[in-house]
Chains A and B, each alone.
Chain A
Amino acid sequence: MRGTKLPDHHVTDHTSDAELIARARAGDDLAFGVLVKRYEGAIAATVIGMLGRGDDADDVGQETFIRFHRSLHRFRGESSLKTYLVHIAMNLSINALKRRRRSLLRFVSRDEHDVDLPEPRVGPDGEVDAHELQQFVRAAVAQLGEKHRAVVVLRLFQDYSTKETAQILGVPDGTVLSRLSRAMKELEARLAPYVRHGSTLPESIL
């Protein structure tokens, strides 16, 4: 079988996913590197959203792209590359959470796990530091149960539709909706003081 001849020019940030994938399949590491940079943000939102920032998340993020590299020849483009990668990242994150839970159960009691979130400081003008608020929101999301967190990460961090979220998680649409509703109620209880008043939502983060 004769291979498709790839256009003879260098890859750039504007090169299409399809061409980058074709080049990466042919062994072009530069093309694969461009794909990694292009989708790093989406994978970071998924993995850090699920596991929190740290070595674990970085490791799972790297593993996502390594798995993708291994399956380059199997990727047929039926879903978008972002969705394909997020799917891998979500599965790996859930596995990492299971491993983490097993080792936590061995060493830490359940009570030690439920810690109060350090609340963001509110200035005299009622403004909350944007960075502190982001940290607070991420910590609140991290305290959700694994299934609820996955829905919040996909629906809100990644802006996927209910249908897409359901497909990635392999659950019915209705389950996504009910999990999202419960997650939002939990988050509202924690974040409402900073959301209800317009002044507590700095424009810099919206």
Chain B
Amino acid sequence: MIDEPTEESLAATIRAAAPAAFDAGFSDRVMTRLNVQREQAFTSALNRQFRLVVPLAAAAALILAAFNWWGARGTAASPFDAALNLPQVTLSSAYSVTSLYGVTVPTETP
């Protein structure tokens, strides 16, 4: 058992040794860390959204490609052209300005 005056002095000595502060600039360090964590939170939220959107976009692209391919059955288009719904390009259509732009351009006949 510690006698009372000693206990009081001991308690006072211990109280006086209580650390009063962190190293200088503590509040700045807290605010910097807070800002870093906010930026990280924003980036990870973007990542989460991206991860949600990517499968949906891929599924939509697949459905569209299948739809295009189904619609192009019986034509001479290659499966790739059919999936992307690319127009048939022949030599004559390539030379025809009209067929490309839908505008009739008067052509000079020699």
Q: Mark B1-35, 1 if CB is under 8 A from A, else 0.
A: 01000110111111111111111001101110110
User: Is the interface on chain A under 10, 10 to 19, 20 to 34, or 35 or more residues?
Assistant: 35 or more
Q: Secondary structure at chain A's binding surface: helix, strand, loop or mixed?
A: helix
Most buried by A among B20, B30, B31, B34: B30
A157-B26 contact in complex given A29-B31, A45-B20, A66-B34, C-beta closer than 8 Å: no
Q: Which residue of A lies closest to B2 (CB)?
A: A188
Give Cα A137 to B18, complex, Å.
9
Q: Which residue of A lies closest to B41 (CB)?
A: A70
Q: Secondary structure at chain B's binding surface: helix, strand, loop or mixed?
A: helix
Q: Which of A54-72 contact B (CB under 8 A)?
A: 57-58, 61-62, 65-66, 69
A65-B10 contact in complex given A44-B22, A133-B17, A206-B16, C-beta closer than 8 Å: no
Partner of A62, one of B19, B21, B30: B30
Q: Which of B31-87 contact A (CB under 8 A)?
A: 31, 33-34, 37
What are 8 pairs between A and B in contact, CB < 8 Å? A29-B31, A33-B31, A58-B22, A61-B22, A157-B19, A184-B7, A191-B10, A205-B13
